[in-house]
Structure 1
């Protein structure tokens, strides 16, 4: 079914089209990621369990691939996985001429030195967004997350370096309680919906379509919501789908060892709320890097704040003329820019 207004509103609110079978145009069937089924996941109780099970996965991967690379940030998720790579493997860290990634880059250099990895810095500029965004949008048949052009550029570089498989640590946040700002509060229904919505379609679109139907699927009472199930089922599709699409567009296989794992015990919300998110992953970092202080959460950086700082906003008729651009974040501006680029392609 074609419903351009619904798809545009869904992308603005959730960064993906959440309804299967609803598309922007005839022949534009969007693709959504599907997480690993629970019955196929490996339960882990301790950091040592994670260490053992990830090592098993790498042993199996190295039996199939001669050259494995990694998307390496300064955070602990990818740093942990870098410890399982063979010396001489290729690691790719996003960089920016603006210097906004400096701390991330410096930590990644430490990891590469420790495990003798070939470190590659990937500059991300507006020219890169203009060059690679159309490619990943055509592959998804929809507008994309701002990380996707970056991943695509990294994948193309990795292929030239002879990498046959790329490692990512994207799902650790979701599986091990890393989304602490979203899962720690005791949310009301409306409170969670307002917090999770990336950009309100009514604020920026001339014909917004209400997206509350998705939240209603997770309502558990008059003013409550099963936000943990929402994150497991909705966020996982939006987040992991970005990696699936970008690597798919580059025709380079990728693998996330965390995605095969599941916590055997319920998440200890008291530990999360007291400032210890992803405590099992933190424990693994302490095993792999006993000489380093455990870093706070470092999302994979994107230079959107710098790149879109002076952007004046979309001009197409689908967008309002009175959008308060000075109130939007770089990521929100990216969504508007990307949506306009996609509509121009239709």
Structure 2
């Protein structure tokens, strides 16, 4: 991956995405002892950063591949991102979703023009259903996080942040499947000035933290976290980037995630989901590390079930 690829990716997707705002808060700065800059991808189209990677991956397909469509399996933001990105580009999108996915998410995918195929709520069933569509329709499978075109697209959020604030000392992003943190790390490396990238991860799903310790991709036995977007694990495409360019991963508890989420709602007046509160919780937890530093925080999305808030 090189700098030119990231620049080309950003130029390519600009007509289809928002350059999202960066918010600051004097009170949150005082509470943490750092200068914080929140890159608000909750204001992105479909409500999360994943629109960036979805659009880029589809735009990189040949005309013939586009005609046959794309398929992914996701219960959340990537399902919506692929549906909207495909609709914007006139490409059919087949979305495999577990039968127990929230109805609101299924409706959102349909609203964006995606064709929903339901399956049993296991990874095996999801992969099998997706493969069936690939075989029958000739559609191209898009992975939510372990795809280089997706990773480049996700990295454009950090690129925009550094264009607005070039002298950040750190950028913090949540870690789930690893696409956002890998893209963020590439952007910080190419466009930052000695800007370090740190991941935030729940203790309950700390596979990325353990993967960096062991040097191989670890899995989670349980996924008992409120940060529903972070239950997935790293892949062979993003893990080497993370190993090379991510400084460390800070783990936070469920209570710390909920407290951070509440604070963001109260002080920034924004709707953000638990997964992105993990990054802010990491800064609150390690105040000494970030004291008097300029810290960018990627607010990854705002697709939250308002009938089921943790506070």
TM-score of the superposition, structure 2-length normalised?
0.39
The structure showing larger relative contact order (alpha-carbon pairs under 8 Å, at least 6 residues apart) is 1
TM-score of the superposition, structure 1-length normalised?
0.36
- Greater Rg by CA: 1
User: Which is strand-richer, 1 or 2?
Assistant: 2
